[in-house]
């Protein structure tokens, strides 16, 4: 599969998917969901799904699918090739979530966690498969956060599906193992072929594993931070490891709304208050704080 479309612009998310086999449109299907790259401070997180007819479950289980983290790279590559070759009864989708998207989403004014980002991706891929005609029947998901809450959320969105959310689903269900392999192989390919728009020359070895605890990764972060523009695009700057380096090496910025209020200006009407529409009730306009948190006034319970 060609991932050059993502390599050309790795600041945005990108979904890649196989063609849907006709049998998956005609027969009820198993559907597995898993991710790769949740913890690293470098590179994207990739969500993967795989599906096949329930009637092919025994055939699927005969293949050597397993949790991608337990497999060597060459074995994962071979299994991913097998998934693509089984295009008469298997399909897959991957959602590449860029480091830029992850960080800007987590740091927006209203708190948004990595778990929420993960769930959004999984739900989006499931909806996409259904829209493409896959006759989804049974869904198996490797959990993020509380498994029961996640399962209840999915059942609320997809009441007609049989949904199982559990830890270690990638080692319990072959269809989730296949999804795990798709996600891991695609993430590895994307990181290896990463194009640095900052024009820095960095080898794969210099990046290290990408995990915050890796000394090589820490060295890359410390050596590649600009005091004004921050890190290269491959870095998830919302991670605490990156934030600490920014605090130490980047230029501090003071925003206008962080400045102390001039005591002499207290009680002075804002100039914008003179431009309210005639007859308008100023109490009807809520502060952005309440809009962001969906807080509204009630008169009875």
pLDDT in tens, the chain (301 residues): 788 888 889 999 999 999 999 999 999 999 999 999 999 999 999 999 999 999 999 999 888 776 667 788 999 999 999 999 999 999 999 999 999 999 999 998 888 999 999 999 999 999 999 999 999 999 999 999 999 999 999 999 999 999 999 999 999 999 999 999 999 999 999 999 999 999 898 988 999 999 999 999 999 999 999 999 999 999 999 999 999 999 999 998 887 765 555 555 556 666 666 665 656 665 566 666 666 666 777 777 6
Token pair in block for residue 223:
């050596």
Residue 202 phi/psi, 5-degree rounding, is -130, 130
Rounded to whole angstroms, what are the CA distances from 180 to 11, 33, 207, 248, 260? 23, 7, 23, 37, 51
> What CA–CA distances, in Å, run from 81 to 3, 68, 86, 167?
15, 14, 9, 26
Task: Return the DSSP state at 11.
Answer: T
pTM of the model: 0.82
CB-facing half-sphere around the CA of 265: CA atoms within 13 A: 6
């Amino acid at each position: 599969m060609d991932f050059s479309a993502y390599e050309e612009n790795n600041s945005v998310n990108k979904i890649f998917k196989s063609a849907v086999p006709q049998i998956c449109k005609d027969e009820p299907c198993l559907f597995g969901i898993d991710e790769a790259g949740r913890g690293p401070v470098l590179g994207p997180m990739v969500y993967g799904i795989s599906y096949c007819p329930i009637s092919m479950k025994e055939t699927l289980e005969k293949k050597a699918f397993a949790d991608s983290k337990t497999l060597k790279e060459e074995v994962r590559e071979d299994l991913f090739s097998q998934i693509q070759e089984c295009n008469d009864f298997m399909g897959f989708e991957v959602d590449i979530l860029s480091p830029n998207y992850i960080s800007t989403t987590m740091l927006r004014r209203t708190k948004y966690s990595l778990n929420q980002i993960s769930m959004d991706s999984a739900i989006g891929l499931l909806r996409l498969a259904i829209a493409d005609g896959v006759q989804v029947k049974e869904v198996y998901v490797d959990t993020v956060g509380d498994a029961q809450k996640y399962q209840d959320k999915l059942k609320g969105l997809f009441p007609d599906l049989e949904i199982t959310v559990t830890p270690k689903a990638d080692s319990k269900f072959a269809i989730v193992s296949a999804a795990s392999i798709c996600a891991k192989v695609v993430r590895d390919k994307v990181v290896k072929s990463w194009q640095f728009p900052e024009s820095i020359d960095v080898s794969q070895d210099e990046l290290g594993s990408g995990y915050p605890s890796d000394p090589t990764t820490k060295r890359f972060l410390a050596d590649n931070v600009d005091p004004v523009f921050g890190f290269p695009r491959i870095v998830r700057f919302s991670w605490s490891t990156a934030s600490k380096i920014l605090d130490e090496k980047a230029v501090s910025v003071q925003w206008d709304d962080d400045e102390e209020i001039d005591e002499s200006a207290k009680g002075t009407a804002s100039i914008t208050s003179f431009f309210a529409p005639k007859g308008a009730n100023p109490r009807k306009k809520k502060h952005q704080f309440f809009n962001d948190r969906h807080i509204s006034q009630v008169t009875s319970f």
